Amino acid sequence: MDNSFIGKKSASAGGWGALKSCGKRLLQTGMPISGARTMLKANQPDGFDCPGCAWGDPEHGSSFEFCENGVKAVAWEATEKRASPAFFAANTVSELRRLSDYELELHGRLTHPMRYDRVTDKYLPVEWADAFAEIGSILSSLPSPDEAEFYTSGRASNEAAYLYQLFVRLYGTNNFPDCSNMCHEASGVALRQAIGVGKGTVLLEDFEHADAIFVVGQNPGTNHPRMLGDLRRAAIRGARVVVFNPVREKGLERFSDPQDKIEMIRGGSTEIASHYFQPKLGGDMAAFRGMAKAVFAADRQAIASGAPSVLDHVFLAEHCEGFELYREAVEATSWEEIESQSGLGRADIKKAADVYLNAEKVICTWAMGVTQHRHSVETIREIASFMFLRGNVGKPGAGLCPVRGHSNVQGDRTVGINEQPPAAFLDALEAEFGVPMPRRHGHNVLAAIGAMLDGSAKAFIGLGGNFARATPDSAFVEQALSKLKLTVNIATKPNHSHLMPGEVSYILPCLGRTEIELSGDGRSQLISVEDSMSMVHGSTGINKPASPHLLSEVAIIAGIAAATIGSDVVDWKALSGNYDLIRDRIEATIPGFHKYNERLRKPRGFHLRNAAAHREWNTDSGKAAFSSGKLPEETVHQRASRNAGQFALQTFRSHDQYNTTVYGLDDRYRGVYGERNVVFVNPADLADLNAAAGDRVDIVGHHDDGIERIAQNFRFVPYDIPRGSAAGYYPELNVLVPLSSFGDQSDTPTSKSVTVSFRKRAA
């Protein structure tokens, strides 16, 4: 069997490999001469916010915050390749549909607004004014505004997102399916319940003071590479880094910092994780409960021996509610249950608990490995409860840190992209604009898909993103999109969501983060974004737009809004001509933005106050709330292990992709080259399956809804991953993620817990 696609794994993350990859990337994408200048301006006070990830920017960092995957994200946008009208003239939509995500986006930046022509099955160029007029007339002819779905992907700036929600609410609906519904929704829900605010409580500076950092269900080496710099500095000064991840991820093991000249010259690298635990998929709640059990045992022992309690009783008494119930729930959970569900031995869990006990200040970070399970909300509540035990929320060097995905996904939420808007926000909008706002809750991603499938939705507008490929059961979603009356995608590059045209369909090309946004009067506009640490900062593009026909997202939204609802309530043209005016409206309607325009122009921007970080709890009880639920009845892992031949599959990202955007076919840190249709399994499982590395299989989904789901022609890669677990790349595997499997309270598709088996393909 040909297994030449499996090669050497990088010895460490970062280092020369990262630099080499950057050089290659710049050459391949045909980045213009201004390329180097573009890179130097990323995440700098007078530059643009890197569209790569939502990790915070340092106050006194090196001259520029360099990161390999940031380079890819920037080069991807700054490419010289163009998906021009000639490209669309040469290919029918049916032909384009046969291309992979990778091949499709390789064609480069969109240059003209395009309208689908059913007769020729091609997209043809149109004038902006005509596009706005037709979109406006279809939207205003719908019997109810609730028949339209307004999707947002988390790259949109605060200004674009605010204008978008304002238009949509004035139009009359709260239908805001958002990428965060598939991402950190569970973090928002759980943290609002636990600490009264759906965001993390730490600042970047806290990483300089933490004694221990728990990194749970996250692969920063690929997805938040700049975080590795902070983890490395912490490791060097002796902080413990405790990882929970079923997969051995290179970046969490060793990192060689491209910013460190000595490390680069010596070819050295730094050990990141002091402890690396490999739980089974979905086993984190049990692991945290086990650690809490160990903490309570240590507490009893301390008290028995006359030592002080290991718990922070002042914090517990003054700030918390539900502690006793939590303690009872923890004590009532048996070690057998904890071990079987977490897949970790008692001794290992105690080791992790010891790190926690020996640290004064602890940070816990997490991402999709925690949020994309059925019981994610409960798991994050458990994490918060565990952190409360020693007062690790609301003090310097400690706290809860969900690491966000898209570079402005947190900001979009802050400025009103929310299908269940708080009444106070709607009141503020009504006061500011003098007209009633819709009060009915709208659709999230799953509800929007449901409405498309049952025919009650008639229109889809996408502000960025790739709805058809990012969502579960992608085959169904693609069909659902093509049944609509109107589909509109505001985008920078062509993707598969554009190839499922409704009756009337537009692709509206916009400027990217790196490009200069000129307003009506020719002045360059500043936009703003919010990172994972709630820092709001400015971003100004520096590159010439990819085409003279592009409009900014703000201008496109303003154009659609004016054509749909007119300009009586809001002067769309004025707002899109001067973003300061949009920010004035944000300041007037959203707490925390006082002196927005002034403070945005300070070098590092400003911090949105987080009440929980100051130990003010905006929860129902006014206290930090422990949760005391039972462990899940059954995790994906336990379910799969009941049936011979079944595995628990997670869908994650390779090193060469940004969500549905595939930059290349390699996954250097995992030693896979030139191939994305792979599935990682434990070598012992491979032997049991009588299979070898490189063997081809179909992956068959097992879900109790009678629908057949098969991902065809994948190849085995033996990997250091627990037995009974499997992993492969999204979006290719989204055909296996069932729409009807989602998180309790979060509605997040369970992309990290899919039950599958393997079927050998005939040679």
**Residue 752 binding partner per list ligand MGD, Mo ion, none, with a CB distance cut-off of 5 to 8 Å that depends on partner kind:** ligand MGD
Site for ligand MGD (CB under 6 A): which residue of 111, 528, 651, 757? 651
Closest CA to 539 of 15, 12, 45: 45
**Alpha-carbon span 74 to 90, nearest angstrom:** 28
Site for Mo ion (CB under 5 A): which residue of 56, 405, 502, 724? 405
Q: Residue 730, interface with ligand MGD (CB under 6 A)?
A: yes
Choice between 163 and 367, CB closer to ligand MGD: 367
Choice between 298 and 511, CB closer to ligand MGD: 511
Q: Residue 367, interface with ligand MGD (CB under 6 A)?
A: yes
The region of 38-46, 422-430, 484-492, 574-582 touching ligand MGD under the rule CB under 6 A is 484-492
Site for ligand MGD (CB under 6 A): which residue of 21, 165, 495, 528? 495
The 520-559 contact track toward ligand MGD, x by CB under 6 A, reads: ---------------------------------x------
Query: What would you report as the CA-atom Rg of the chain, rounded to the nearest whole angstrom?
Result: 25
Footprint (CB under 5 A) of Mo ion, residues 158-187: 183
Q: Is the dihedral of CA 330, 331, 332, 338 positive or negative?
A: positive
Q: For residue 660, what are its two tokens?
A: 């549905």
The region of 30-38, 165-173, 560-568, 644-652 touching ligand MGD under the rule CB under 6 A is 644-652
**Residue 730 binding partner per list Mo ion, ligand MGD, none, with a CB distance cut-off of 5 to 8 Å that depends on partner kind:** ligand MGD
158 Ramachandran zone, left/alpha/beta (phi>0; psi -120 to 50): alpha
Choice between 193 and 341, CB closer to ligand MGD: 341
**Residue 651 binding partner per list ligand MGD, Mo ion, none, with a CB distance cut-off of 5 to 8 Å that depends on partner kind:** ligand MGD
Q: Which run of H or E residues covers position 338? A: helix 335-342
Shortest CB 184 distance to ligand MGD, Å: 7
Footprint (CB under 6 A) of ligand MGD, residues 243-272: 244-247, 249
Q: Is the dihedral of CA 42, 44, 46, 49 positive or negative?
A: positive
320 Ramachandran zone, left/alpha/beta (phi>0; psi -120 to 50): beta
Q: Residue 217, interface with ligand MGD (CB under 6 A)?
A: yes
Closest CA to 404 of 49, 655, 50, 56: 56
What distances in angstroms separate CA 738 from CA 213, 477, 512, one per listed residue?
Answer: 34, 11, 33
**Residue 53 binding partner per list ligand MGD, Mo ion, none, with a CB distance cut-off of 5 to 8 Å that depends on partner kind:** ligand MGD
Closest CA to 661 of 536, 549, 512: 512
Site for ligand MGD (CB under 6 A): which residue of 653, 676, 696, 703? 653
Q: For residue 210, what are its two tokens?
A: 């933490």
The region of 302-310, 368-376, 479-487, 577-585 touching ligand MGD under the rule CB under 6 A is 368-376
The region of 316-324, 505-513, 568-576, 584-592 touching ligand MGD under the rule CB under 6 A is 505-513
Choice between 408 and 682, CB closer to Mo ion: 408
| Beta-ladder partners of 114 | 125, 507
Query: Cis before residue 632, ω within 30 degrees of 0?
Result: no
Compute how many residues bind ligand MGD; rule: CB under 6 A.
61
Choice between 315 and 652, CB closer to ligand MGD: 652
Shortest CB 73 distance to ligand MGD, Å: 7
Q: Residue 51, interface with Mo ion (CB under 5 A)?
A: no
Residue 590 in contact with residue 580, Cβ under 8 Å?
Answer: no
What angle separates helix 335-342 from helix 346-357, to the nearest 10 degrees? 90
Site for ligand MGD (CB under 6 A): which residue of 79, 173, 175, 222? 222
Residue 549 in contact with residue 490, Cβ under 8 Å?
Answer: no
**Alpha-carbon span 587 to 594, nearest angstrom:** 6
Residue 195 in contact with residue 201, Cβ under 8 Å?
Answer: yes
Q: Residue 513, interface with ligand MGD (CB under 6 A)?
A: yes
**Residue 495 binding partner per list Mo ion, ligand MGD, none, with a CB distance cut-off of 5 to 8 Å that depends on partner kind:** ligand MGD
Closest CA to 155 of 76, 96, 229: 76
Q: Quote the Cα angle for 585-590-593, to 5°.
A: 80
**Alpha-carbon span 57 to 53, nearest angstrom:** 11
**Residue 492 binding partner per list Mo ion, ligand MGD, none, with a CB distance cut-off of 5 to 8 Å that depends on partner kind:** ligand MGD
Q: Write out the DSSP string of 162-203.
A: HHHHHHHHHHT-----BGGGGTTHHHHHHHHHHHSSSS----
Site for ligand MGD (CB under 6 A): which residue of 200, 464, 545, 701? 464
Q: What is the dihedral of CA 84, 86, 87, 93, to 10 degrees?
A: 110
**Residue 652 binding partner per list ligand MGD, Mo ion, none, with a CB distance cut-off of 5 to 8 Å that depends on partner kind:** ligand MGD
Question: Which single residue brings its beta carbon nearest to Mo ion?
Answer: 405
**Residue 245 binding partner per list Mo ion, ligand MGD, none, with a CB distance cut-off of 5 to 8 Å that depends on partner kind:** ligand MGD
Write out the residues near ligand MGD by the rule CB under 6 A: 52-53, 69, 105, 153, 155, 179, 182-183, 216-219, 222-224, 244-247, 249, 279, 281-282, 284, 367-369, 372, 405-406, 463-467, 470, 490-493, 495, 510, 512-513, 553, 650-653, 657-661, 730, 733-734, 737, 751-752
Residues of this chain that interact with Mo ion (CB under 5 A) are 183, 405
